[in-house]
Structures are given as structure tokens and as C-alpha cells.
Structure 1
Amino acid sequence: MSLLVGLMVRLLTVAIICFAAAVTWILVEAQNGVRVETRQSAERASHVIERSYMTGSVGRPLDFTREPSGASSNIVSVMSPGVCVSAEDRQGVRRRLCSGWTTLGPLAPEWFRRFYAAVTPTNPPVEVSASVHGEASRPVRASFDPVAAAARAWNRFRMAVALAASMALGMSVLAALAVLHALSPVQTIISGLKRLESGDETSRLPHFSTLEFRRIGVAFNDLAERLQQRTDERAALMRQLFVVQEDERKALARDLHDEFGQCLTAAGALSLSVEAGAMPDRPDLAEEARAIGRINAKMMATLRGAFAKLRPPDLEELGLEASLQLMVQGWAVTQGSRTSFTLEVDGDLADVSGKAALDIYRIVQECLTNAARHGQPQQVTVQVCRRAGAADVTVVVSDDGGGCPQEISKTGFGILGIKERIGSLGGSLSIGGANGGMRVAAVLPATAGGALA
């Protein structure tokens, strides 16, 4: 549930509670009003009866229905709407008068009359005494018509409902507008978090006028700034690590060439010497010498492949495009007819040199290694694009050897190295599927450093 919906539900709950309290108050007030008006009507009717006896003939009986006493009209005139009054005349006959209640409004619906009768107690009749000169006091009894009482409460209830509904609607609209305005920074905060999640560490939140959101914005900006600082430090460290890695590769290649290469050369020369000096009656010795030579040649070829991986060709002298072409041709020779390797260059790579050229070379090298290691492709294509005047180079390596992009991007150490290298240069990397295989696309600056040492 969204925050806005939650707040509106709470406001609606409060409105319902207030409405229920208002309905309760209306019913209680209506019931109290019925009691008060019933008693007041009884007292006023008693007073009119007393005056009627005092001003009329002593022997004339009290009659509510005959004139000229006028008692009926006088009593009804002082009765509240919906009240019925009864009193005894001198003959002991109880007479009853009821006032009209059309002024109370329309008749209440049946359901409301039942509801009103169920939730409100029945009002007992109110009885007062009318003092008659020279005679015993006469009881005057007043009661409120239940239908009239329900009509009285219904009309007040109806007006209260209309007023409450209008107020609730107006308050809901105003509250919704106020909440929307108050929560407007939330979307900005969410957008900033998404940008930060996607890797945009330059994302910053604006200054909010609300104190709480302003604190969130300050905390977010401080966090983003520290994260950007740590990322910059990490990128600088990774760049230095890659420099050290290249130095170690050169040193290892040099040691292999100076030590292991010379040993293989000597072993090859010795096998030839043994083969040449073998006696005619020892053909087995010559054959063993030739076998040693073949093993030595295979080891020398493996060593040359290691040299190619450890120490790339002279990028400054050959250029990036020629060096990539040599690498692709080397893979084609290594894989034989099983896999076709193709290099496509779009644009001029002549001015891509120094560390940028080495980074591109290493990325293509690792991508080709992954393509051969994690699948059985029949076609591997390397595309290098440098638009005229562009400050970056796009490298795309695709194959048809299958593989799951998600698994390789999570578990492949070669891909991890590519990510680290590209991240340290401020580039971007995307890994996906294409043509039944993998597609690795990298965008990195064309000028990432100085000349190679």
C-alpha cells in the first residue's frame, strides 16, 4: 500500500469515527429534546387549564372539544409539535389533544424508525398537576408521538449527514492535495536512488523545503559523495594494479624466454645431436631422439603462445588494428577449422595508443578466451568501432557458442577482470545473448593513458 493511500485510509477512518460520534450526539440530543419539550408542553398545558378554570364559569366542565371555553385551541397553541396532552374533566373523563408535527419535516423511513426505536429508550409520559380552585388537583399527562420523535431525529440526522458528507469530501480533497504536495519530494528521492543504483554516483538530491526531507537529502548527498570518493580511489587502485600486472607479465615473459626458452632450445639441439650420432644398429635411439624433438617443438609452441598472452606485440610500432589482427589470426590457427574468427574495424584507430590501446587489446584477448572456454562456437566476431571525432571506442565480441549471460557475468573471473578494467577507466560494459551465444560490448575512452613503457 502506498503512503498516500495509507494516509487517505487513516483520514477516512477518522472521518467515519467522527461521523459515528456525530450520529450518536444527534440521537442523544434528539432524545433529550423530546423529554424537555414533552415536559414543557405538559407544564404549559397545565397552566392553560388552570387559567381556563379561573376565567370560565365555575360550574362549566372542562371540555377540550367544545367552545366557547376555547380550552382546546389554547392548549394546542402552547404544545410543541408532536406532543399529545391528556387531562380529566370534572366528570372524570380523560380528554386527549395532539399537536400537529408537519413542521418537523417529512416522515422518517421505516428503517430509520426501527433503528431509532432500537437505540433510544422509550420516553415515559410526563405528568404534572393542574390546580383547580376549590377542587382537587387534576393530573395533566403529556407524551411525545414516537413517529414524530423519529421524524424529528431523522431530519436532524439527514442534515448532519449532508453536512458531514460535504465536509468529509472537502477535507478529503484538501487533505489529498496537501499530502500530494507534502510527498512530492518522495519521487525525486526514489529517482535519485535509482540513478545511484544504476551506477551514477554523481546523482545528488536538491534542497527540500520540508525539514524531514531536507535531512534525507543531506544524508543521501553525503552518502553519494563518499561512495563516489571510494569509487574513485578504487578505480585509481585498480589502474595501478593493472600497471603492476603488466609489469609482472613482462617480467614473467622475460624470465620464461631467458631461462625456459633457452633450456628448450638446448634440449632441441641435443635431441638433434643424439639423432645424428645414433649408430645404424640403434634405430630405436634415433626414434627416441626424434620423439624428444617433437615434444620439445610442442613445448616451444606452447611457450610462444604464453609469450603472446603475457606480452602483447609492440602496439606503438604496429598499431592497435594490426595487433588485434595478429591476435585474431593466432586464435584462428590455434582453434583450427572448428571456429572461424573475424575482425571488423569501423573507423580510424591510428590515434588510439598508449594504455588505451593496451586496455582494448587485453579486453579483446579476454573476450576471445571466454568465447573459446565457455562454449563451442563456430563463429566469433570482433567489432571495434571508433567514430570520427568520438572520444570513446566501442568493442563488441560475439559468438554462437551458447552460454548463459547471467551465470558467466556472476562467476567468470575473466569477465570480472574486464569489469574491473573498464570500471577503472570510467567505461561501461554490457553482457547479453545474441545469435545463440554471448555478446560482450564495452565502451571505453580512446585516451586512457600515456605511451607504453
Structure 2
Amino acid sequence: MTARAPTVQPRSDAPLAPARDAPSRALPWSGWSTRRRLIAVVLAIDVLAALISCAVIVLNARSAVKVETRASLATVESLVADTIRLADAAPDPLLQALDLRFQALRHVRVSVIDTDGDQVGEPVGRPRPEKAAPAWFADLIAPPIEQHTLPIVAGGRQIGSARITTQPLDEIDEIWSYARALSITTFCINAAMLVALYLAAGRVLAPLGSLARGLNQLERHDYTARLALPETRELAVIAARFNQVAEALGEARAANGRLNRQLLTAQDDEGRRIALELHDEFGPCLFALEATAASIARIAAGEAEPARDKLAARAAEIAGIVGQVQGRNRDLLNRLRPHALGQVPLPACLDLLVRDFSRRHPGTRFIGRFADLGPGYGDLVDLTLFRCIQESMTNAVRHGAATEVVAEAAERDGRLVVSVRDNGSGVSPDHGTGLGLSGMRERVGALDGSFALDNASPGAVVRISIPVPSDRGEDASTVEAP
């Protein structure tokens, strides 16, 4: 068995390889341009038409020459017979007169022979025209030569004979002259047509060169390339689609640039918030731990017996500070990555999120309805649902000043449908797209879903729809909710 060669990706500046490997590369026209192939096809059609025309001309000419020579032979036989019958002269002058009379006939030759078998007079034939047919053409058309002999009788006795021989070259020369003129005319017309087709094809196919240059620009990530719309309708459609694709790629590139800048800003903001929280929350706790430890050290270093009640109070202070640090640390880790995802079913994890919001914002009523969700849909989908609901509830409290937020999520007809509705101030007409909204939209779009933010009566509503993945995660299905 022959091993297959490894597949090699073509270079960006190299011509595209043909669909088939060895057979296509072996063909002489595999690298031809479209214009050259078009001219070659038309030229091949012309050659085929010329061959068929030549075959038809040869067949018709052979039949015509045969019919013409036979008709001439029959006519001349009658003429010679009548002339001999009506002639009344001496033998020698009669033979010479007959020889002179029949020398100018077409398609046949008449030779007068005396009783000794000698030809009377010099053998004179019709002169061949200047544009006589070549031998190969005459061989293709000429029918078999026929010869008839008629006796010449004068005074009741035979004084000689008339030998009548067919001569098809007269008719062949005429056919050759006609075929030659027709061939020259046809060649000139076809040459003019090929030149016109070459120029027209160059004009029609010129936009393809612009298209190739535009594609090279796109390949170099230059999305400012635009094509002028050609006059040809089909190529104009292609050029219009190219311009739309280039514009869409440019917009996508600009959007990616904005998202990258927003991502960097979000990372910087998150790092700043974490640093501030570490400074404001963990710093005092660590200072308190240090002060309590110093107090315990002073009590232990005293000369008197250490007071157990003071040591117990300091230990209780340390335990309280450690509990506060653990709570802050848990909140911080949960904000960076919800620790319950993948450990408990998705509905239970979302219920924990709602309870956490209720604890941190006691003035707002949070309601979660997640009973129609499955236990899990994979880490990416679960995290997207969690972050979108978290961001929507945060916006409802922070920007909408809502007093009630209702979050619902369910699986319906192969899609995950999420809505977060609040009774706050709603969405203003001139609201901008911040990091939270753009992040939700990008997360949902990456999963082929849809995202919408609309005003409700009252407040605002966030609607999200995501297709259920075929390889949904089932790792959390066996874990019981706490």
C-alpha cells in the first residue's frame, strides 16, 4: 500500500492548487487564465466546425463532380454521334475537323483516332486555371475516370474512332476556387471574432483582477478595501457582496478593538477593586490580629499569673476577626469565580445567588424561579447564565433603584430562556453600553444566543435565549443541593 503524502497548507501568496492532484497538474491548460481558456474553447469549436465543413464540402463535391461528369459524358456522346452521322466529307479532312471541334469541351476530352490507331492532330487540352486544385484535393474528390469509344463511319466504312474520356479536373478546379474563397472569408471572420472576443473578455473579466487584489487586502487584514461596481450584473452582485463583507469585517475588527480595550479596562478595574477591598477589609483585620497578638504577648510576659478571662477574651476577638476574614475571602473568591458552579446543580447555585443579593441588599426584594432548569449544561453555559443574571440584578439595584427584581430561567423547546425583570426607573433613551451590558452580549453571542434589554411597565427587562448544547454537562446532576 502506498503511503499518502502529508497535507501541506498553501502559502497565502501562492496560487490555489487544483482540486485533483496529479491528473490536473499534468493537463497543459491547468494554469491558463479564464480569458485564454475561453479563447481556446472558441478556437476548438472553430476547428471542429471547419473539419465538419470540409467533410461536407468533400462529400458534396464528390457527388457533384460525379453527376456533372456523367451528364457531360452523355451529352458529348450524343453530340459526337450526331456530328459523325451528319458529316459528309473525305476521311482525312473529316477527322481533322472533328478533332478541332471537340477540343474545347468541358468535363470531357474527345480524341479522334484514325484507322492506324494514331491520334489525329496534336493532343491539345483545356489549359488549367492559375488557381488549379492541388493534387491531394483532386484525389479526395475525383471520381473514377470513364472512357467511351464511338466509331467514325463515312461512305459506309469506318475511317476512325472518337475516344471520349471524362475529365473531372475542370469541375474540381471550380470547387477548389469556391472552397478556397470560402475558407479565406471564414478565417478572416473567425480571426476578427477571436480578436473581438479577446478584447471583450478582457473588459468583462477585468473586475475579477480587482476582486483578487481586494481579497489580498482582506488577507492582509486591510478591511478598507472596496470595489467599484462593474457594469456586468453578475459581477456587480459579487462586488457588492464583497464590499458588504469588507465592511462587516471592518466593523467586527472595530468591535473587537473596543472589546479588547473594555477587557483591559475591566481587568484594571477589577484589580483596583480587589486591591481596595484587600486594603479596606483585610488590612484592618490583620492590624486587629496583630494588636490582639501583642496584647496576649504582654499578658503572658507579666510576672503575675495570667488572667484566664483576659486570655479567653483575646482568643474570642481573634476568632471573630478570623471569621470576618474568612467571610470576606469567601465573598471575594465567589465574585472571581462562583465556587458552587460544578459542585451543586445549576438551579441551586442560582438560588444561592438570589439569597446572597437579598442578604447584601435588604431593601430590595429578590425572587428567583429556576425550577424548570436542568442540573447543568456545561461549565461555559452555566457560567454565562450565572454572570448574566448576576449582572442584570446588579444593574437593577445600582442603576434602576429597583425595590423588586424577579429572575426566571427555564429550558423550553431546546433553548434556555432567561428573563430578569425589575420595577425600577427603566432604561433611558440615551443610555450607553457599559462593560456589563457588552460583556453579557458577547457571552451570549459566543453561544449563538440572543440578548435584548427593553423597558417594561414599570422598570426594565433583560431577555436572553441560548440554545441548549448537545453535549450538556451532567457532572452536577448527581450532587444534591445543600
With structure 2 as the length reference, what TM-score do the two structures score?
0.43
TM-score (normalised: structure 1):
0.45
Q: Which has the higher helix share?
A: 1
